[in-house]
Structure 1
């Protein structure tokens, strides 16, 4: 019986993009599991059982970072910042979500170089590398040294909205039509450039949901006060799934001006609700949004306002656009991602 270990220890924060990726991909991998395979999930103690009783669990501990006697046929790490290593004889699949850390200026050159060395060590051990976009695959090849015999496969993330989605209104609602963003609030998300939309659209509110970096949140509030729009800005912090679905359901449009993204799951989530998406044209986002998203050519106030105005006009004048947005989102499903990973696992098992 082939034994597969899935490293999902960083799923501890289920409100994060990484937590959601591990959770939804893990569930779909279990659903599609061939009867003759055994799956073990590496998880924190409080998440034992999260994928049901048909799989096994190993608790992630500090000792486990150096104890390498776990015996599995395939070891799949679902993110680049793993703190655990398989034995050298294990078929190791290394998934790289992004290399954003290497570009973040708030970290010293020494810290970024150390992280780069860690990435390289794992690449050197991997039988196969997978990425979540063509952009990340190219970035890996440019910034790291990939052995000639090591393939890089692109397997996109997915979004599966439940048929009977549970929707719960937030404790504090915007008091008018609103624009929505969700994600980690840090400087490269670039959401402060969206504040001028509140100046030119005085009936709109702006909701920025997700865990924040305090220094960036302070910058957003300072700029909102300078522009006189702080009374129409909501920053509720991390939100649960049912509240997230409420914001997607009721927003006028979704904003995603991020400067660095390995994929951009929120773009697909918003499209699955038929909402117009206004996106950065950088990194992986054009792969995800395709021709149905509206892209900001630059982020000065005049361009942001003009892009939004024209995009909303186009959306309102095109009764079929909401359906096309939903169709675009259907290209990215966890069912597809899990199926492609099972094909990869089975191919690796047939290799020596």
Structure 2
């Protein structure tokens, strides 16, 4: 009986993007589990049973970073920063979501080099590497050394949207039509460049949802004050799922000007609601938005305003565009991702144990 171990320790924070990835991919892997396979998930004590009774569980603890002489046929780490990797020789699959840490200016060259060495050590150990976009695969090959015999496969993330979407209005509702962004509010998300849209569109509000870095949030608020639009800026912080769906349902457009993305799940979520998406053309985002998203060629105020104006005119004049956006979003489903992982697991089992 092949034994597969999934390192899902980060599922402890189910409000994070990584927590949601572990949860939804894990559920679909269990649903598609071939006969005869044994799955084990690493979870917190209160999450034992989260994937049902047909799988087994190990409880995550600080000791796992030191003592982990577990024996499995395949060990899969679902993110690049794992501290819980196999000590015994086994088939090791390493998923890299992004190498953004190496590009962030707030970290010293020494810290980045230490992190890079950790990534390289896991790559050297892996029998297979997966990434969540072709952009990340290219970045891995440029910044790290992948052994010639180690395959690198792109398996896109999925997006899980309930058939019956529960929507809960936020505590503070925008006072008019609004534009929406959701994600971690830090400088590389680049959302401050969207404020000029409020200057030339006096009916619009801007909602920036998600956990923040205080210094960047303060920068956004100060810029909004200087532009005279702070009364139409809402920053509600982290929001729950049903409130998120409310914002997607009611927004006029979704903005995602991020400079660094391994994938960009919010873009898929917005397209699933048939909403026009205005995105950065950098990193992985053109893979996700495809031909149906609108892309900012630069982020000076004039270009941002003109790109938005033209995009909204096209969206409003094309009654079929919402349906095309929904079709684009359907390319990114957990059932597709899980099927590709199961194919890769089965291929790995046909290779000798290292």
The two structures have a TM-score, normalised by structure 1, of 0.98
1:31 matches 2:1: no
Task: State the partner residue of 2:13.
Answer: 13
Deviations along 1:7-54, one digit per CA (max 9) or x if unpaired, are: 111122222211111111111111111131111111222322222222
Deviations along 1:243-270, one digit per CA (max 9) or x if unpaired, are: 1111100000000000000000000000
User: C-alpha displacement at 1:88, in angstroms?
Assistant: 3.9
1:331 aligns to what SS in structure 2? coil
Q: Within 5 A, what are the aligned runs for 1:134-283?
A: 134-283=134-283
> Aligned equivalents of 1:240 and 1:53: distance in 2?
28
Of 227-236 and 49-58, deviating more is 49-58
1:93 aligns to what SS in structure 2? strand
Task: State the partner residue of 2:122.
Answer: 122
8 Å CA contact 1:28, 1:334 repeated in 2:
yes
Task: State the partner residue of 1:316.
Answer: 316
> Aligned equivalents of 2:252 and 2:270: distance in 1?
11
The two structures have a TM-score, normalised by structure 2, of 0.98
1:120 aligns to what SS in structure 2? helix
Of 31-40 and 125-134, deviating more is 31-40
1:335 matches 2:346: no
Task: State the partner residue of 1:55.
Answer: 55
Of 233-242 and 128-137, deviating more is 233-242
The runs of at least 4 consecutive aligned structure 1 residues that moved more than 6 Å come to none
Task: State the partner residue of 1:292.
Answer: 292
> Aligned equivalents of 1:262 and 1:88: distance in 2?
30
> Aligned equivalents of 1:52 and 1:327: distance in 2?
31
2:236 aligns to what SS in structure 1? strand
8 Å CA contact 2:94, 2:123 repeated in 1:
yes
Deviations along 1:309-346, one digit per CA (max 9) or x if unpaired, are: 00000000000000000000011110000000000111
Q: Return 5+ residue gaps in structure 1 as ranges.
A: none
8 Å CA contact 1:44, 1:60 repeated in 2:
yes
8 Å CA contact 2:70, 2:88 repeated in 1:
no
Of 160-169 and 24-33, deviating more is 160-169
Deviations along 1:94-145, one digit per CA (max 9) or x if unpaired, are: 0000000001110111100000000000000000000000000000000000
Q: Return 5+ residue gaps in structure 2 as ranges.
A: none
> Aligned equivalents of 2:68 and 2:228: distance in 1?
57
Deviations along 1:257-298, one digit per CA (max 9) or x if unpaired, are: 000000000000000000000000000000000000000000
> Aligned equivalents of 1:65 and 1:100: distance in 2?
24
Of 48-57 and 196-205, deviating more is 48-57
8 Å CA contact 2:209, 2:238 repeated in 1:
yes
> Aligned equivalents of 2:45 and 2:301: distance in 1?
47
**Cα RMSD (Å) of the superposition?**
0.9
Q: How many residues align?
A: 352
